[in-house]
Copies of this chain bind each other. A is one copy, B any other.
Amino acid sequence: MTELEIMGANAKAASKSLRIATDEAKADALFSIAEHLRSNAAFILGENSLDVKDARINGMSESMVDRLLLTEERISGMAQGVIAVSRWPDPVGKVLEEYDRPNGLHIKKVSVPLGVIGIIFESRPNVTSDCAALCIRAGNAVILRGGKEAYRSNAAIAKVMRQALSESELPEDCVQLVSDTTRQSAAEMMSLTRYLDVLIPRGGAGLIRNVVDNAKVPVIETGAGNCHIYVDKAADINMAADIVFNAKTSRPSVCNAAEKLLIHKDIADNALPVIAARLRHGNVELHGDAASKSIFGDMKTATDEDWGREYIDLIMGVKIVDSVEDAINHIETYSTHHSDCIISEDKSAAEKFMAGVDSAAVYWNASTRFTDGGEMGLGAEIGISTQKLHARGPMGVNQLVTYKYELTGSGQIR
């Protein structure tokens, strides 16, 4: 057996204990993980410093080094995150439906864990504890496969978590980290259908595309957000400026940041100068179509390639549209179906937009930045699903379960 097959078998065995573990056992184990993370901070920081040193020797940019870097404070944040997840209500064992059939068969539909979850992720080491905590809270064993640059940091965090688990009622194999960080191990995980119930990639567009295209294990696709804000002809211009500015600039590197601004032609002359000036003041580079540029000159020319792009940067595409229908059509053509917004005081336009745009989150008069487990009251999340199977939007603890049917009879035959 390969390393991954052995880990798969271990995870499967651990998931059998986890599946029937009590709420308290899972919460206690998570609390213990948080304590161990805090008390072993020096060890984790030591290993992390080796990763950071190598990254600088290898010429990693300082912004990437910052993603890799752990500090006392960041480890404390990781521990706090684990504690918050430990307090989330147990999503397992909920009776979703219960009924009797005419033949007396009693049917119960009950929530159960997914089983074994594989996660392939890139550089941030905090993903190790964040994802492990969410998986355990929902009764799942997890196999983590992080990037090479963060391997010693991830291994230190995993070691500390397993130590905590070995002192808890749960098996330490609830959390395992793959030691092979080559492409080979990622490819093998994608084919590990015998042991993995689900595979979740966390990282850049390239990683996610690779996993979606090549995995035989069912995948939850997370991430890409080419999010739109459409300013309707009946918009409150000041509200529009506030929302667009917030959605674009408050954190341009995340998937719920707005990337495109669509403005109704009837309000463009009044609205665009206000909104665009505000964005330029915030150092946002604007890529406009011809109609936008004729109203506000301080823009680069948008090309066709702009409309499908997720900039993840202080850049925004701008386009004048003829109607709410035109806005919907543009969004349906180019959106990644993550989060899209209409700003309008006209209820019927808003309803048309929200019914017509087929995205995980559709907004009326609020910033797209709220598509986030915490902000939506769904707790910490493992990612934002942009596919339609299983879960859409924030994938929190409640989305890391499935269900089974329990059928009780007294000898019924068909």
Using a CB–CB cutoff of 8 Å, the interface residues on chain A facing chain B are 16, 19-20, 99, 101, 105, 107, 112, 114-115, 193, 197-198, 212-213, 216, 218-221, 236, 239, 242-243, 246-247, 250, 332, 350, 354-356, 358-367, 369-371, 375-377, 387-390, 392-393, 402-414
Contacts and interface: CB of A to CB of B under 8 A. Distances in A.
Contacts of A236: 411
Contacts of A361: 404-407
Given A112-B358, A366-B412, A367-B412, A388 B197 contact: yes
Given A389-B198, A389-B218, A409 B362 contact: no
Most buried by B among A105, A354, A405, A410: A405
Nearest to A102: B377
Nearest to A411: B239
Contact of A376 (B107, B387, B409): B107
A60 to B, nearest CB: 30
B375 A16 contact: no
A105 B366 contact: yes
21 contacts: A16-B356, A19-B356, A112-B358, A197-B389, A218-B219, A218-B221, A218-B387, A242-B411, A242-B413, A359-B404, A361-B404, A365-B411, A366-B409, A366-B411, A366-B413, A367-B409, A367-B413, A369-B414, A371-B405, A376-B407, A389-B389
Nearest to A412: B366
Given A366-B105, A367-B412, A414-B246, A355 B20 contact: yes
Given A198-B389, A365-B408, 6 more contacts: A20-B356, A105-B370, A197-B388, A218-B387, A236-B411, A362-B404
Contacts of A390: 389-390
Contacts of A412: 365-367, 370
The 3 closest A-B pairs by CB, nearest first: A366-B409, A246-B413, A369-B414
A99 B377 contact: yes
A354 B414 contact: no
B402 A389 contact: yes
B411 A19 contact: no
A193 B16 CA distance: 35
A366 B408 contact: yes
Nearest to A352: B20
A221 B216 CA distance: 11
Nearest to A198: B389
Contact of A409 (B112, B212, B365, B405): B365
A236 to B, nearest CB: 7
Most buried by B among A221, A359, A390: A390
A398 B363 CA distance: 26
A363 B404 contact: no
Contacts of A193: 212
Most buried by B among A350, A366, A376: A366
Given A107-B376, A356-B20, A414-B369, A392 B409 contact: no
Contacts of A406: 354, 361-362, 364
A376 B101 contact: yes
A238 to B, nearest CB: 9
Contacts of A250: 413-414
A330 to B, nearest CB: 13
Contacts of A389: 114, 197-198, 218, 220, 389-390, 402
